[in-house]
Structure 1
Amino acid sequence: MRGPSMNLHPAGSFGAADDVGRKSEASTVAIIGGGPAGLTAAYELQKHSEAYHPVVFEESDQVGGISRTEMYKGYRYDIGGHRFFTKVKSVEALWKEVLPNDFLQRPRMSRIFYRNKYYDYPLKPLNALLNMGPYESMRIMLSYAKWKVRPSREEVTFEQWVTNRFGGRLFWHFFKSYTEKVWGIPCNEIRADWAAQRIKNLSLRKAIWNAFSGSNDTHSLIEKFDYPRLGPGMMWEAFRDRVEDQGGEVRMEQKVRRIFRDENRVRAVEVENADGSTYEFAADQFISSMPISALVENMVPPAPDHVREAAKKLRYRDFLMVTLIIEGENMFPDNWIYIHSPDVKVGRIQNFRSWSEEMIPEPNRSSLGMEYFCNENDELWDKDDKELLAQAERELRTLNLVGDAPVLDGKVIRQRKAYPLYDGDYRDALETIREWLATIPNLQAVGRNGMHRYNNQDHSMLTAMLAVKNILGENHDLWAVNVEEEYHEEVREPEESEQRAMGHSERLQPTRILAGAK
């Protein structure tokens, strides 16, 4: 892994003596965060203009953010699971441009494990009904009919949105327990926005009609996806290398602490080195993918009181993954399995061999990622690693997914602020912050936490691409790049998606690469 560049030139000071291809008098763009959004912004600036010098500040020792690939004893771990599939052709082209020869095409398979049976995911009503048996299926159908006749008039909460489409009984079986396991709050406190973004708007009536008529609509879902052979971090390491090869900078273990502004423009950021020392870095333009709440809280002089109060209302959900190295190769064929059982705390289990054989360095070995959703500093988060490893193995045995295969080793990986929380306060709070940030023309927020939007790599990349276009003189509303109201894995004609993605005022619904909780 490359080390950080420590050139501390202020903005606009690059003269003829600079030896890394910089143009004299180049304008500096400070980019906060070395995840998909930040690295895409740096790469796109260099690709489309020689007039700007990007400097990326990444607080950790790895690029990629939640899309990074962790390693332990040669084993590679995908933090959350990342399918490389998108409806946005410009993003797809960028993936292939930066990583042209290292994609594998993988079969898509994920299922729900519930009451010792496997259910298709995304949930297919007919499959669910057959697994539930005739008595419970009848109750599900009656519940569905009831909610179709008398639906909730409002669809403000996750519970209302799902129940109106599936009925109360199916909601209780397949959505309530898992969703509350993921978010740690009741379903009636989660906004419907998240449901519209993450769950296909299925119809029981249509599913049953298809079964008896012989019709099949499974072609509308992706069956295969691309995947970097060494995990998603391979993509972002390639982005980093290209940025640096073109004269840009990616400064690792450099945490942006404060953002200094004069009136309605940002002039500099305070950066903390790994040793605790700090320096001030001036720039002409700023792109931020740090949590938008932290962006507001660290403004100097402070943001207005009502904006700071709004930032305090934005909440996040953290998670940790307990990776287990197991003797044997073929545990199960899925990329991952959702665990709906309330008897265990694990929410999802990844099978890394099903992502890529090259992520497993030894023959006759499997590597599983047991994912737990929690809050930083709660009981689960603070557990000792040895306790977590023992708990993960115990729950794996309870679920009987690997038989008596020996567990040989493991590692715990913690991820802060993995998911922006869509609770009852978030929308008004976010709107308040958006309105205030709009008064600062040389600062743009991009990416998942940067916009407090439950988006994916392609959405994060697109916001960064449009932010660069804005710096180059165009006028795009990044907040109009939207993921709501369309299911992430339904295939749409490429021409339409591309037109909607790059239009100035059109709303975009790009695919979601992650499933379930990601």
Structure 2
Amino acid sequence: MTTGPAAKPGELSVDVVIIGAGPAGLTAGYLLTKAGKTVAIIEKDERYVGGISRTVEVDGYRFDIGGHRFFSKSKPVVDLWNEILPDDFISRPRMSRIYYEGKFYSYPLRAFEALRNLGLWRSTLCMASFAKAQVFPNRNVKSFEDWTVNQFGHKLYSIFFKTYTEKVWGMPCDEMSSDWAAQRIKGLSLWGAVWDGVKRSLGLNKKPNNGMQAKTLLEEFRYPRLGPGMMWEAARDKIVAAGGQVLMGHSLRRLAADTKGGWRLHATCVGGGETVIRARDAISSAPMRELAARLAPVPGTVLDAGALKYRDFLTVALKVKSKDLFPDNWIYIHDSKVQVGRIQNFRSWSPEMVPDQDVACVGLEYFCFEGDGLWASADADLIELAKKEMAILGLCDPSDVIGGSVVRQEKAYPVYDEGYADRVSAMREELEAKHPTLHLVGRNGMHRYNNQDHAMMTAMLTVENILAGERIYDTWCVNEDAEYHEAGNEGEVDLPRVVEHTADDRAAALSSMRGVPMPVSQSAANTDRDAA
């Protein structure tokens, strides 16, 4: 499917060609057409734009792929959201909890509440385990498990940290670096939480007994009434209205540099055939390893970039004859009896996501690797698995399920494994040195675990660079001050300052990404490098 006017069948000539119609690609396309540039965007999906931020619709039911809260500290991002979708945002309460053995626990975890919910015997064991860890701590802390057990004791670690973390990342906690744990769980004090809870029970403390010193998560957020895909469909329509082109069902086959410093992109169309697009500048939000394999001439980094890895997931959406099963936007499943890692309640994101008021629609998220047993399972088998696990969790009766759908999302999370930083750095250095008109943007394009607003910002700065005809902004510094908790005021931060490209800038940018676990061996290597 081609959206927008074509120059001539099979061949186009534009100012900028963009690979991928996700948040980064569409943000770039919108701003470039607004500035008077001609653009063509290729997207391999035949139906949906938005990438991981798309909204899938089946029989009137809409599914958010992963859950996308529209909150950003970046004023330019907030202003752009309002410009593209001025009349369709709704304000939604934020609620996420942990579910363990039939009970809900606050998220972020409130230690005193957790001990109370666990009951006298189990909480006693947790406190005894914690006391043991305080008296006999592990002095050689290397892994996520080492750090967390030292902080909370083995019992609480096994209940609230181990199971979910291993589901998401597909690696044992004793193989994950302790650095990630220190960032992700910073500020939670078990002794502080218990003591606050005791004072609260005596009427001596009116503050929330969450034991947290870190900032709390935002209490409400904005959300498009028909899901995040509504934003990106509106962006697509505005691009087309301004004369741009969005070519659906087009996959990148080859991107070749021409002798004049521009680009010649070859895209394979669904059903056969090929489209060729000529452009001065090229923007890529395609996975870095895929871009490397399709560049011509083949860069020297292609073999290294080809080793970059990703974590995938799939959503099994179930329609259940019931009122809403729980009020949360999603719940985290910390239970080893089931494979599901998180369950969304689509009506809690927006009532308009679910057309039947007597039907609850939930999405069970399974984290996996593309091609493994879960990923390769038939849709019918996955729906049966989801029904079975909902019953095990006590969340619904399988006989009340009246339908289901499966949505697979490949390359959802870039993996920060051994050597990934060197591969990304080498790829970046080579492209910036040899191809200044090729720009990498977005989560997969830069192999960075960015939020939606950070991905948009990389595109916004890239557009400024293209319009200026030189790299005046370092897009790799976006998200360098990222925090795990969403906090602060919306739109309080403006564009980053113009920066010079230095080795220290590049190293800082690569080391400042949103928290993702690294292997213990990689963390040790980083420590040795820093010491040297």
TM-score bracket relative to the smaller structure: 0.7 to 0.9
Of residues 122, 125, 128, the one that matches 1:136 is 125
Q: Displacement of 1:289 after TM fit? A: 0.3
The 5-angstrom pairing of residues 12-411 of structure 1 reads 28-47=15-34, 49-50=35-36, 52-60=37-45, 61-133=47-119, 134-139=123-128, 141-142=130-131, 145=134, 158-159=144-145, 162=148, 166=152, 168-190=154-176, 199=185, 201-208=187-194, 210-211=196-197, 212=199, 213-216=205-208, 220-262=216-258, 265=261, 267-304=263-300, 307-403=301-397, 406-411=400-405
TM-score normalised per structure 2: 0.84
Distance 1:404 1:261, change over 3 A: closer
TM-score normalised per structure 1: 0.86
Query: What amino acid is the match of 2:474?
Result: D
Equivalent pairs counted in the alignment come to 489
| Cα offsets for 1:158-189 (capped at 9, x unmatched) | 44565565555433322222111112222344
Structure 1 Cα separation of the partners of residues 257 and 315 of structure 2: 39
Distance 1:143 1:256, change over 3 A: farther
- Answer with 221-230 or 430-439: which moved more: 430-439
Structure 2 Cα separation of the partners of residues 42 and 408 of structure 1: 40
Q: Displacement of 1:312 after TM fit? A: 2.4
8 Å contact kept, 1:353–1:367: yes
Structure 1 Cα separation of the partners of residues 180 and 446 of structure 2: 15
8 Å contact kept, 1:353–1:360: yes
8 Å contact kept, 1:110–1:336: yes
8 Å contact kept, 2:93–2:219: yes
Structure 2 Cα separation of the partners of residues 88 and 378 of structure 1: 38
Q: Does 1:480 align with 2:477?
A: yes
Structure 2 Cα separation of the partners of residues 291 and 197 of structure 1: 26
Q: Displacement of 1:225 after TM fit? A: 0.7
Structure 2 Cα separation of the partners of residues 397 and 423 of structure 1: 36
Distance 1:381 1:247, change over 3 A: same
Distance 1:214 1:248, change over 3 A: same
Structure 2 Cα separation of the partners of residues 30 and 330 of structure 1: 44
| Cα offsets for 1:359-399 (capped at 9, x unmatched) | 11122111111111111221111112111111110110110
Query: What amino acid is the match of 1:464?
Result: A
8 Å contact kept, 1:321–1:412: yes
- Answer with 2-11 or 471-480: which moved more: 2-11
1:515 is aligned to none
Structure 2 Cα separation of the partners of residues 105 and 116 of structure 1: 30
8 Å contact kept, 1:160–1:192: yes
Query: What amino acid is the match of 1:82?
Result: H
| Cα offsets for 1:12-52 (capped at 9, x unmatched) | 96xxxxxxxxxxxxx611111000000001112233x22x2
Identity of aligned residues (%): 47
- Answer with 460-469 or 249-258: which moved more: 249-258
The 5-angstrom pairing of residues 385-464 of structure 1 reads 385-403=379-397, 406-439=400-433, 440-464=435-459
Query: What amino acid is the match of 1:249?
Result: Q
| Cα offsets for 1:331-375 (capped at 9, x unmatched) | 111111111111111111111111111111122111111111111
SS at match of 1:461: helix
SS at match of 1:380: helix
Q: Displacement of 1:153 after TM fit? A: 5.9
Unaligned runs of 5+ in 2: 200-204, 500-504, 515-532
Distance 1:484 1:189, change over 3 A: farther
| Cα offsets for 1:205-234 (capped at 9, x unmatched) | 443454434334888321111111111100
Unaligned runs of 5+ in 1: 14-26, 513-518
Distance 1:465 1:9, change over 3 A: farther
Query: What amino acid is the match of 2:224?
Result: P
1:470 is aligned to 465
Q: Displacement of 1:276 after TM fit? A: 2.0
| Cα offsets for 1:104-148 (capped at 9, x unmatched) | 11111111111222111122333223333431341353256358x
Structure 2 Cα separation of the partners of residues 463 and 35 of structure 1: 12
Query: What amino acid is the match of 1:412?
Result: V
Q: Displacement of 1:287 after TM fit? A: 0.9
Structure 2 Cα separation of the partners of residues 255 and 446 of structure 1: 17
Query: What amino acid is the match of 2:246?
Result: V
Structure 1 Cα separation of the partners of residues 94 and 155 of structure 2: 28
| Cα offsets for 1:448-489 (capped at 9, x unmatched) | 111111111101001111111111225111111125652231
| Cα offsets for 1:258-312 (capped at 9, x unmatched) | 11125895521111111221132111111110001111111112111xx123212
- Answer with 204-213 or 465-474: which moved more: 204-213
8 Å contact kept, 2:10–2:274: no
SS at match of 1:286: strand
Query: What amino acid is the match of 2:237?
Result: D
User: What's the RMSD between the two structures over aligned residues?
Assistant: 3.0
Structure 2 Cα separation of the partners of residues 402 and 239 of structure 1: 38
Query: What amino acid is the match of 1:180?
Result: E
Query: What amino acid is the match of 1:248?
Result: G
SS at match of 2:376: coil
8 Å contact kept, 2:15–2:281: yes
8 Å contact kept, 1:296–1:303: yes
Structure 2 Cα separation of the partners of residues 445 and 161 of structure 1: 35
SS at match of 1:412: strand
Structure 2 Cα separation of the partners of residues 288 and 198 of structure 1: 30
